[in-house]
Amino acid sequence: MISMFKRGLIISSLALTSLGVTGCSSDPAPVEATQLSGSKEFLSLIEDARRYVRQGDLVEAGKAYDEARKIEPENPGLWVDIARLRFLGGENLTAIEAADYALELQPTYGPALLLRAQMVRDANGMEEALAWFESANLAAPNNPEVLGEYAATLGDLGYNRDMLLAVRDLTQFAPDNGQALFLQAVLAARGDKPAVAARLLERSRYLQNEVPAARMLNAIINLQQGNYDTAANILDVLAEEQPAKMRAQELLAKAWWLGGRDDLIAQRFGETAKRPGASSYLVMLVGRSLERAGNRVAAIPFIERANSLSNGSSFVLTSEGDLPAPTSQLRSLVAAGNLGGARSVAAGVVRQFPQSGDAYSLAGDVALASGQPLEAIEAYRVSAQVRRSWPLTRKLVAAMLEAGEGDAAKALLSRYIKGDPQNLDALMVLARISAQDADWLRVAVLLDTAIAQGAGSDPTALALRAKAARELGNEEDAAQADALFGNLVPKPFL
């Protein structure tokens, strides 16, 4: 087996796995993306509806779309707009139905294919979405939005050569397109050319428009150039603005770690690392920073917890959507041991938001906390129809393991990794589960992949890689992993 440890120590590799370039938000494309045809009265109503959407008045927008539907009920563009409106309003499941109906009316309708590609990417992963993007490109050739989303998806899959070809096509038809320049900046950063990346990012105007993904890339470029304090300042603001987004927090902790700011890591993330939902990477960094600062006693619980989190343990009652009040209430009820009350509240949330993927995710969390893994699996699977994020996938894996469905859990993880191959946490969870089954060859392959993408600074990954190597009789790889592990672990304090 070819060792890939050295590649795993490159800072840019670790940082860039934290940059998702598929779109600039989690929502589908804006309603203005679809150019509709129809009668004058119909188009006037569509224009009114879209204006209401921009103003945030979804109720009035819905009324205008209802009036437009009376005039042209089988206009596929109308149903694409309705799907987007429903998605914005949290009616995720009926949004999917509307998008499907648009394709039923016109199977080769480009905007509907694009929207469905985005939905498939959210629910089933990037790999399965590629065919949809390719169909959208055939239906609407040389469409900048389709090419941009397709290129970004290829990039997040790690298909950099294919991404480059798609970006070149986009640049040919839209040379000043901001997304094209931004994607070129991403490719330059991945090629360890931070100066080129910085110039392209500046030209994209994404930074001036304060696009979060561009600000994240700017931080990564500064990390590559060794400007750790500058990167940390950027990431600090991003983490404050998006407290539910783990990527910015992890990169901020990484920037402080590289800059030797152990005090700031413990100060900022000490409490966060104790909460449900904290990633094993962030918990480990808190532990290692305490250890490096000389507080080994305080470090041990964090390091032990990081190891247990890498073993597929669940993240209970974490919401990615717009249901903070129910989430807080349910967390309090579960913490107080009132599982019956929590189940009642969760059922009420589902009744109130029957089309929301987040509502079903919360119901699954309560079922899992109540010792009902099969019920949790059913709820999580409904939520996954909308968006199969990593936190949701991890909880579903935990429920499957608790229900004794280990093979199903591994199959789900394998499918997830295929659609998000740069997710280090997913690779680590599957590696640890495989280690429990003594599938050491699989463990070695998974960890080599993770280390090549940046996990070479994770002591847990290196320790498990050394064990896998010894189980496979490969002492050379074991010694290499041990050496890297020894370089990471601080020497005992006297």
- Residue 29 confidence (pLDDT): 44
Asked whether the predicted pLDDT for residue 3 surpasses 70, the reply is no
- Residue 90 confidence (pLDDT): 85
pLDDT band of 321, cuts 50, 70, 90: very low
Q: Which residue has the higher pLDDT, 111 or 13?
A: 111
- pLDDT tens for each residue of 70-98: 999 999 999 999 999 998 888 889 999 99
- Residue 490 confidence (pLDDT): 52
C-alpha distances out from residue 460 to 304, 314, 381, 409, 477, Å: 10, 18, 30, 21, 16
- pLDDT tens for each residue of 368-382: 888 999 999 999 999
pLDDT band of 328, cuts 50, 70, 90: low
- pLDDT tens for each residue of 425-446: 889 899 999 999 999 999 999 9
Torsion angle (degrees, nearest 10) of CA 367, 372, 374, 377: 30
Burial class (CB in 10 A: 0-12, 13-18, 19+), 8: buried
Q: What percent of the chain has pLDDT over 70?
A: 85
- pLDDT tens for each residue of 384-402: 988 888 888 989 999 999 9
Count CB atoms within 10 A of the CB of residue 428: 24
- Residue 176 confidence (pLDDT): 80
What single-letter DSSP state applies at residue 34? P
- Residue 309 confidence (pLDDT): 62
Length of the chain: 494
- Residue 11 confidence (pLDDT): 36
- Residue 459 confidence (pLDDT): 76
- pLDDT tens for each residue of 446-473: 999 888 877 776 777 888 999 999 999 9
Sign of the four-CA dihedral 74, 80, 81, 87: positive
Q: Which residue has the higher pLDDT, 474 or 422?
A: 474
pLDDT band of 276, cuts 50, 70, 90: low
C-alpha distances out from residue 9 to 156, 277, 445, 453, Å: 20, 26, 17, 8
